[in-house]
A and B are shown apart, each in its own frame.
Chain A
Amino acid sequence: MNLEQQLKLQAFLDGELPEREAREILSWTQRDGVAAALLAELKNTRQAMAKSEPHLSLPEAREFFWSKIEREIQRREPVAAIAPEVTLFTALRRWLLPAVAVSALVIAGMIAHFNVPKTAGATVADADTPTVETTLANSDATTYRDASEGTTLVWFSVAADDSSVPSKTPAAIN
């Protein structure tokens, strides 16, 4: 019995097959003891799980849980600003402040840019994301980044037909 047949058995159990196919599978299980045994196992598992979901309670007091939700709802809701009395000076300052701040940032950025020469090939917009080049034509690299800890994992692997290098890595593959 191959995997496709086994998955058909499961689909039959779950009522996911069209009627004609379902009748074929039913007939097969009546002739084939192995298929019947597997179907019985799948059915037992499904029945065990039906209505046996563990009953769990939130492990926090109602008030404490709600207080966090309430605080976050209020924090995320837009706050109506109280419009200040607008004078010409206030209007000018409101326009001028952001304009000057942006200009200062742009000037600082330009100075930093010209003082720190670009390295050839460093084109990534996010400096924390690695760029990886593999040496071998039939090899690959898997990258995983844990941004909160600042850790980057780069795992080089080689295609299975290269017997000199293990093909399976101990790392998870996406």
Chain B
Amino acid sequence: MSGQNYSSTDDESLVKAARKGELAAFEELVFRHRDPIYARAFSMTRNEQDAVDLSQEAWIKGWQRLEQFQGDSSFTTWMTRIVINLCLDHLRKQKRHRADSIEELDEDSGGVERQMPVVTVNPTAGMERAELRVKIDAALAELSAEHRTVLVLHEFEDMEYKEIAKTIGCSIGTVMSRLFYARRKMAALLADMRKET
């Protein structure tokens, strides 16, 4: 590892150097992008330790697969895809369904949505962005892993239905149902939070 200081080097050059085996260049990439990668892992798993472990594993895989990074997207986007896939594998292994397991069974038949009245008042109107972030975070924690995953991929990763279906390994219909349920549940949760304040 050379003693070169990479702090002012752009990402593209860092990737090139890292491909040649420069671990210090890769370290700089990790330093720059560790927070968004961790944040994505946490938003999907809702467990701090799991998110740390998964983001660590994502970086290791990123190092191993540097040759595959073509520059079609930003380095962060590329790394985010790696951590998303790791999180999906992790969630599949876990398959923890608690009290919302019955709701999930109902959701596919459209049962739950009948029980959720339309939220007519915008529950986030007038809210400061910082407060909204806190409320969104709290509401995301209330969703099941399956619903949260689809919502995160659609809303935060701007993925289309088809891409989400391919990433998760399910049908587009399932993506649409889960996204619909997740959004309705979020609306209800945000409305409840507004009532409490």
Which of the 9-residue segments A10-18, A95-103, A109-117, A130-138 touches chain B? A10-18
Stretch at the interface among B6-14, B29-37, B68-76: B29-37
A121 CB-CB contact with B under 8 Å? no
In terms of DSSP, what is the predominant structure of the interface of chain B? helix
Contacts of B118 in A (CB 8 A): 34, 37-38, 41
Q: Is A163 located at the chain interface by the 8 A CB criterion?
A: no
* With A49-B155, A49-B186, A76-B60 as contacts: A65 and B30 at CB distance below 8 Å: yes
Chain A stretch 23-48: residues in CB contact (< 8 A) with chain B: 34, 37-38, 40-42, 44-48
Total number of B residues with any Cβ neighbor in A under 8 Å:
56
User: Which DSSP category, helix, strand, loop or mixed, fits chain A's interface?
Assistant: helix
**Chain B residues closer than 8 Å to A56, beta-carbon distance:** 35, 38-39, 42-43
Nearest chain-A residue to B134 (Cβ)?
Answer: A54
> Per-residue 0/1 for A122-157: is the Cβ within 8 Å of any B Cβ (1 yes, 0 no)?
000000000000000000000010000000000000
Q: Mark B43-82, 1 if CB is under 8 A from A, else 0.
A: 1000010001001100110011000000000000000000
**Given A3-B177, A54-B136, A59-B52, A44 and B23 touching (CB < 8 A)?**
no
Docked-complex contact A58 and B31, CB < 8 angstroms: no
Q: B186 to A45, Cβ gap below 8 A?
A: yes
Q: Do the beta carbons of A60 and B52 come within 8 Å of each other? A: yes
Does A168 count as interface, using CB distance less than 8 angstroms? yes
B110 nearest in chain A by CB position? A3
How many A-B contacts are there with CB distance less than 8 Å?
137
Residue numbers in A under 8 Å from B101 (CB-CB): 170-173
B56 contacts A69, C-beta separation under 8 Å: yes
Contact between chains at A48 and B180 (CB < 8 Å): no
> Do A54 and B39 touch (CB < 8 A)?
yes
Q: Within 8 Å of chain B (Cβ to Cβ): is A90?
A: no
Residues of chain A contacted by B177 (CB below 8 angstroms): 3, 7
* Distance from B24 Cβ to chain A, minimum over Cβ atoms (Å): 10
The smallest beta-carbon distance between B141 and chain A, in angstroms, is 10
Q: Is A52 part of the contact surface with B, judged by Cβ < 8 Å?
A: yes
Question: A7-B177, A73-B63 are known contacts. Are A48 and B43 too (CB-CB below 8 A)?
Answer: no
Nearest-CB distance from B143 to chain A (Å)?
A: 12
Could you tell me if B60 and A69 are in contact, using CB atoms closer than 8 angstroms?
yes
Residues of B within 8 A of A34 (CB): 118
List the A side residues contacting B64 at CB < 8 Å: 73, 76
Whole-angstrom distance between the alpha carbons of A65 and B56 in the complex? Answer: 8
> Which one, B23, B122, B156, B161, contacts A49 given CB within 8 A?
B156
- Across the two chains, which residue of chain B brings its CB closest to A56? B39
A70 touches B (CB below 8 Å): yes
Indicate if A72 sits at the interface (CB-CB under 8 A): yes
Closest 3 CB pairs of A and B: A172-B97, A3-B110, A54-B137
- With contacts A37-B118, A65-B30, A168-B105 known, what are 11 further pairs, Cβ within 8 A? A6-B180, A7-B176, A14-B154, A41-B119, A45-B190, A48-B132, A54-B134, A59-B48, A62-B34, A66-B31, A76-B60
Name B residues whose Cβ lies closer than 8 Å to a Cβ of A: 23, 27, 30-31, 34-35, 38-39, 42-43, 48, 52, 55-56, 59-60, 63-64, 95-97, 101-102, 104-105, 110, 113, 118-120, 122-124, 129, 132-134, 136-137, 140, 151, 154-156, 160-161, 173, 176-177, 179-180, 183-184, 186-187, 190
Interface on A for B, CB 8 Å cutoff?
2-3, 6-7, 10-11, 14, 16, 34, 37-38, 40-42, 44-60, 62, 65-66, 68-70, 72-73, 76, 144, 168, 170-174
